[in-house]
Structures are given as C-alpha cells and as structure tokens.
C-alpha cells in the first residue's frame, strides 16, 4: 500500500507523459519552451484568471508574489501557524515579520475574526492557506483586507482545483500561488509552481522577477530578481496530467466520502464547510493517542504521515518571534492529534477497508 501512488498514475498516463516529454527533449526547448505558455494559458482559463506565471516551486511562487508588494523590513504579514514552513518562511526571507493568528477548530484554516484582532499600523497583508485542499473563508478575509487596505495572497499549494462558493481556488484573492510538487494533488516530476493574478502590471513584474529581474534589453536587468522559472519538462508532465485532473478530483472526493462514512464516530473526520469542494491534498483525521495509532498502522503496513506535528510558532526557525506553548491552543491541539491517511485517486475500496478496520480496531 502506498501513501500516494505516483507509480500507478504514471503507468496510467504513460503514453501521454512520455510523448509530451519527448517533444521537449527532441527540440531541446528546456528553458521557457513553448509548452510553458501553453500550460500557463490552459491553467489561467481553468481557474478563470487573466495571467498565470509559472515558476520553479510553490515557495518561489509565494516569494515572487510577495516581492511585487515592495515589502519593507518591519512590515507585518498575517498568516496561519498551521501550515507548511514555506508560507511564513518567505515573509521572513524578505525581512518582514510573520504575525501568526489562530485557526478555526473544524476547518483548520485561519480564523478571520482573529485576523481583525492582529492588525496593527505595520500590517501590510495576509497570506491565507487552503489547508489540506479546502479553501479558507475568503469572503470574510477579503472584506477585512479591504476595510484595512491590506493585500491578500492565497496560498493554494494544496488546493488547486478546489472550489469556494462556485469559484475555483487560485482565483479567490488579488494574487494566488500554487505548487506542483509531486505529492500535491496536481504534481509534476520535480519542483514547480504557478502564480495567478488579474493585475496586468503585477503580471509583467512577475515575468521579470522570475528571470533575474530582466528588462527589454537582455543584459540590462531592471530589478533584483531570481532564477525562478519552471522547467519546460515539468510543463510537459503537467500538460499530460491535467486532462485527467477533474476525474481525479472526483475520485479523491469519493474516497474521502467513504473514509468519512466508515470512520465517523471513531475519530474526528475532516469538516468541509458549506459551499466548499476540497481536493483532499490530505485526508487527515484528528485522533486521540495519535502517535500510537500511527505505530499501530505502520506495523500493519499502512503508510501514514503527520501534517504537521509542530505548528510554525513553536519551530526553531521562528523562535526569534518569542512565542511559547499555549499561544495558539487550537493549532497546537490539531498538531498533536492530526494524522493523514493514504489518499490518491487510485486507492481501492479493499485497501480502504483494511485502513478503516485497523483504525476502528485500535480504538476498541
Ligand atoms: C507544499 C506547500 C508549499 C511549498 O510548495 P513547494 O512547491 O514545495 O515549494 C507552500 N505552502 C503550502 C501550504 C504547501 O503545502
């Protein structure tokens, strides 16, 4: 049994993937080849946003997006402590200050009410995360941002393809970022990411920033940027995989529903808010005695993972912020009890039954 079965996925789409990759190899269009633009327009249309700017990773997407806001040292950016390090790392990387606020008890996404309380004269923006593939509460978040003249970045690294009130993830704020890391719902064969925006000026700036701050003259760079392009080979993989993605989202939801049906009453199953469609980047349950449950499942050959065992405010890299245990009790409790089960579109019912039976037997 695999936690995420990329092998089966490759064999299923092998012909298309190999042929797309072969195109790139035979015409040696490795850097910014035509497939880059092809992928960008395809995905821009899919999420319903004017500009898609591909880049080297989800982390670079967040970094490049933040760079367009001319962040100054001492600026404060509000975000969640219950996320992958990259979300807050890019804030610190630009010498701004990550200001963590508590998450909601059921969705594990940032609590809009707590955002309001964290705003100071130094606050410039908010990075909200669509944790485990479910969009945050953007109606509330955008409203607060508008009232306080803040920007909002949607960290949709886990939620590409998800829906919020009929709109697609990656279209819910001024600037949105996703990742194509292999373990994400839509993954490539290495690192990759994308930024989406309707802002023409910011799109032009992003295209420059991802290529060393290039201008119109090849050797006159107009700003400090980075080497943050997406490899054409990764675009080729995504072009082959994308036509199957809607079907995969449906399969993920079917599997999640079956998990929930079988596990309800035994553990805390994921809570999907009204008018949200999750892509289940993770199917994560909240379970008492989590570490022993994990040992039990591993002993039975069932792979699991913990996303995330330590909230960001308690990580060593952020110790300079001076947080202590108890600062964000919900994020801490979730970190202590959360565990992710195998989740991929090819998980069969027989394997699922083994997983849920073992969880139920652990608690009985
Ligand atoms: C994976 C992830 C990232 C970073 O993406 P990479 O492509 O690995 O750099 C950022 N934010 C969240 C919430 C993620 O899950």
For the chain (length 364 residues), average pLDDT per consecutive 10?
98 98 98 98 98 98 98 97 98 98 98 98 98 98 98 98 98 98 98 98 98 92 96 98 98 98 97 97 98 98 98 98 98 98 98 98 95
CA angle, 341 then 56 then 280, to 5°: 20
Measured CA to CA, the distance from residue 27 to residue 45 in angstroms comes to: 27
| Ligand 1 center to 156 CA (angstroms) | 8
Nearest CA to ligand 1 atom 10: 86
DSSP one-letter string for 255-321: HHHHHHHHHBTTBB---PPTTEE---S-EEEE-TTHHHHHHHHHHTT---B-S-SS-GGGSGGGGGG
What are residue 14's phi and psi, to 5 degrees? -50, -50
Nearest CA to ligand 1 atom 1: 157
> Measured from the CA of 281, which atom of ligand 1 is nearest?
15
Nearest CA to ligand 1 atom 7: 58
Q: Is the CB of 133 under 6 A from ligand 1?
A: no
């Amino acid at each position: 049994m695999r936690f995420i079965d990329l092998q089966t996925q490759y064999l299923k789409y092998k012909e298309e993937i190999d042929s797309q990759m072969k195109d790139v190899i035979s015409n040696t269009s490795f850097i910014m080849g035509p497939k880059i633009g092809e992928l960008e327009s395809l995905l821009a249309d899919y999420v319903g946003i004017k500009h898609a700017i591909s880049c080297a990773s989800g982390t670079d997407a967040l970094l490049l997006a933040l760079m367009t806001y001319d962040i100054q040292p001492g600026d404060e950016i509000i975000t969640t402590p219950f996320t992958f390090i990259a979300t807050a790392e890019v804030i610190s990387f630009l010498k701004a200050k990550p200001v963590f606020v508590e998450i909601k008890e059921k969705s594990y996404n940032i609590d809009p009410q707590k955002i309001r309380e964290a705003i100071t004269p130094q606050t410039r923006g908010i990075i909200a995360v669509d944790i485990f593939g479910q969009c945050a509460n953007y109606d509330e978040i955008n409203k607060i941002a508008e009232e306080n003249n803040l920007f909002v970045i949607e960290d949709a690294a886990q939620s590409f393809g998800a829906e919020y009130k009929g709109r697609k993830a990656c279209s819910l704020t001024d600037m949105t970022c996703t990742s194509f890391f292999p373990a994400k719902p839509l993954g490539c064969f290495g690192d990759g990411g994308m930024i989406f925006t309707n802002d023409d000026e910011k799109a032009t700036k992003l295209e420059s920033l991802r290529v060393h701050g290039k201008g119109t003259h090849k050797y006159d760079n107009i700003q400090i940027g980075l080497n943050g392009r997406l490899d054409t080979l990764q675009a080729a993989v995504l072009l082959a995989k994308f036509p199957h993605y809607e079907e995969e989202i449906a399969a993920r939801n079917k599997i999640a529903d079956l998990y929930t049906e079988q596990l309800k009453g035994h553990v805390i199953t994921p809570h999907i808010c009204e008018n949200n469609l999750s892509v289940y980047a993770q199917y994560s349950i909240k379970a008492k005695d989590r570490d022993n449950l994990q040992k039990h499942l591993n002993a039975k050959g069932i792979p699991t993972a913990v996303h995330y065992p330590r909230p960001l405010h308690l990580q060593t890299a952020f110790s300079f912020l001076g947080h202590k245990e108890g600062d964000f009790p919900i994020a801490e409790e979730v970190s202590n009890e959360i565990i992710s089960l195998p989740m991929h579109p090819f998980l069969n019912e027989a394997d699922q039954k083994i997983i849920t039976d073992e969880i139920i037997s652990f608690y009985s």
